[in-house]
Amino acid sequence: MNPRQVADYMFGQDYFSQWMNIKMIEVRENYCLIEMPIKKEMINGLKTVHGGVTFAFADSALAFSSNNTGDAAVALNCIINFTKAGKEGDVFRAESILVNDTRKTAVYDIKITNQNNELIAKFVGTVYKIGKKVTEL
């Protein structure tokens, strides 16, 4: 399977990403660009996007980019910095780029922006390669 096919395979089983209405814009080896509309159910008590939603969106980008070679990887450590509050009606984009790759781990930089290309959050995710194929899980 090519990277897009692997990401599509994973997405088909990822009911949480489906609930978030994630749309894959671009997928290539160790990279992805995804989009998500912000809906009412994602808003917190301060009328901004819940931080957990932003984190989960970045985590989905990490998953689709770090697994799309077909070799399974799981999150080992993730750090997020929130830079701007999102609002209902926004459209978030997450771009995940591989920055370091070793035999057992890899590090990805993920930038989340809104429809105006304003930075919403910066996320760094480290994954552990578990030694199995995505299709074996």
Residue ranges and CATH numbers for the domains of the chain are 3-131 (3.10.129.10)
The per-residue pLDDT for range 19-45, each reduced to its tens digit, is 999 999 999 999 999 999 999 999 999
Nearest partner of 74 among 12, 126, 32, judged by Cα: 126
- Whether the CB-CB separation of 133 and 91 falls below 8 Å is answered with no
Please, which residues bridge with residue 34 across strands?
A: 24, 94
Please, which residues bridge with residue 35 across strands?
A: 23, 93
The per-residue pLDDT for range 64-102, each reduced to its tens digit, is 999 999 999 999 999 999 999 999 999 999 999 999 999
pLDDT of residue 49: 98
**How large a percentage of the chain has pLDDT more than 70?**
100
pLDDT of residue 35: 98
pLDDT of residue 133: 98
**Average pLDDT of every residue of the chain:** 98
CA distance 16 to 121: 20
The radius of gyration of the chain's CA atoms, rounded to the nearest angstrom, is 14
CA distance 60 to 18: 10
Q: How confident is the model at residue 61 (pLDDT cuts 50, 70, 90)?
A: very high
Whether the model pTM is above 0.85: yes
pLDDT of residue 57: 98
- Helical packing angle, 3-13 and 51-66, nearest 10°: 140
